[in-house]
Amino acid sequence: MLRFIASRLLQGLFVLFALYTITFFLAKAMPGEPFTTEKNLSEESKAYQRALYGLDKPLLHQYFIYPKNIITKGSLAISTSKGRPVKDIISQSFKVSVVLGLSALGIAICIGVPIGVISAVRRNSWVDWGTMAVAMIGICVPAFTIGPLLQIFIAAKLSAIKVAGWGDPQDILLPAITLGLSTAAYLARLTRGGMLEILSQDYIRTAHAKGIPPSKVITRHALRGGILPSVAFIGPAFAALISGSFIVETIFQVPGMGQHFVNAVIARDEFLLLGVALFFGFLIVIMNLAADILTGILDPRVRIAGNAAK
């Protein structure tokens, strides 16, 4: 198992380095340059700024110094548009995004998985068709439609819930629903598919033949295998949820991480861009690994295969 984790982490490192390389050169290829936002900046002060951020060095030197600083100093450089360390910017907004993302994931799991299970058990009934139609809509309708709808029909009617803003605990609700709804819909469809597959297996018939009550056949014998596809999906989905969403953050005025992906590009702030991109990549690697480990815990056959491989 340790061997498996170590090899996956090494793989992840390669992925991150590839991601870095691509982002680095794309950032360099962006049109425009940093420090153009402040008006009337003289050529000298621009040159001074560039030297300050190390942007005057040869390209190759820049390419190697950035990862070197991450490893030796744990530094992600200074944001050229905000003048603050990228690390601070990320850690500050990441706290917000984690809270929002976790709530969204919680909502997604609590809605998606039970719906998937129920529609699989009642397959081809109107319950099944109804929920799956709603799930399909949930996947298709974008956040910038759902968000404003929630603002209009919930926030505007209930005085306890603000239309937008971030600070009180109840502020989490609407953005979390908006963010989690499409994940819930995916989970519902994945869980339904997984459960249908398992429910047709011979060992479910064995379980019934043993006199186990139908509801317990579902929870004890079918659920574990049935949610495996969802588990594999939750890893990367979770990484995406906690790294923020520009759209949801904009609609609800949430100071999360998603805004930086867009703002960094607009401000041609390559260090911020590299920082958030690498951080997002890191999250994906970790979450995928976590999903694999969880799959191994749930499925003994995978566990054995992993052991045999080492």
Partner 1 sequence: MPLLEVTDLKTHFHTRNGIVRAVDGVSFSLEKGQTVGIVGESGSGKSVTCYSLLGLIPMPPGKIESGSAIFGSTDLLNCGEKKLCQIRGKRISMIFQDPMTSLNPYLRIATQITEPLRLHMGMDRKRALKHAIRALGEVGIAEPEKRIQMYPHEFSGGMRQRVMIAMALITNPEILIADEPTTALDVTIQKQILDLIKERQRELGTAVLFITHDLAVISEVCDEINVMYAGNIVERAGAEELFKNPRHAYTRALLKSIPALHAKGEELYTIPGLPPDVSQPINGCAFRPRNELGDSAKCLPNHRPVLKDTGAGHWVQDCPGCLA
215 is a contact residue toward partner 1 (CB under 8 A): no
- State which residue, 34 or 225, has the beta carbon closest to partner 1: 225
What's the token pair of residue 86? 């990228």
Segment holding 82, helix H or strand E: none
Contact 272, 79 (CB under 8 A): yes
214 is a contact residue toward partner 1 (CB under 8 A): yes
308 is a contact residue toward partner 1 (CB under 8 A): no
How big is the chain, counted in residues? 310
Instruction: Work out the end-to-end distance of the chain between its first and last CA atoms, rounded to an integer number of angstroms.
Output: 8
Contact 243, 90 (CB under 8 A): no
206 is a contact residue toward partner 1 (CB under 8 A): yes
122 is a contact residue toward partner 1 (CB under 8 A): no
CB atoms within 10 A of CB 40: 5
Residue type, 49: Q
219 is a contact residue toward partner 1 (CB under 8 A): no
Segment holding 115, helix H or strand E: helix 86-121
Contact 206, 179 (CB under 8 A): no
CB atoms within 10 A of CB 64: 11
- Residue selected from 213, 266, 307, 310 as contacting partner 1 according to rule CB under 8 A: 213
202 is a contact residue toward partner 1 (CB under 8 A): yes
Beta bridge partners of 85: 78
- Residue selected from 39, 73, 157, 210 as contacting partner 1 according to rule CB under 8 A: 210
- Residue selected from 115, 179, 207, 257 as contacting partner 1 according to rule CB under 8 A: 207
Shortest Å distance, C-beta 229 to partner 1: 14
Site string for partner 1, 262-301 (x = CB under 8 A): ------------------------------------xxxx
- Residue selected from 224, 253, 266, 307 as contacting partner 1 according to rule CB under 8 A: 224
What's the token pair of residue 80? 């050229």
Shortest Å distance, C-beta 176 to partner 1: 32
- The pair phi, psi for residue 85, each rounded to 5°, is -60, 135
221 is a contact residue toward partner 1 (CB under 8 A): yes
209 is a contact residue toward partner 1 (CB under 8 A): yes
Shortest Å distance, C-beta 127 to partner 1: 15
126 is a contact residue toward partner 1 (CB under 8 A): no
CA–CA distance, 28 with 270 (Å, rounded to integer) = 8
List contacts with partner 1 (CB under 8 A). Answer: 201-203, 205-214, 220-221, 224-225, 298-301, 304
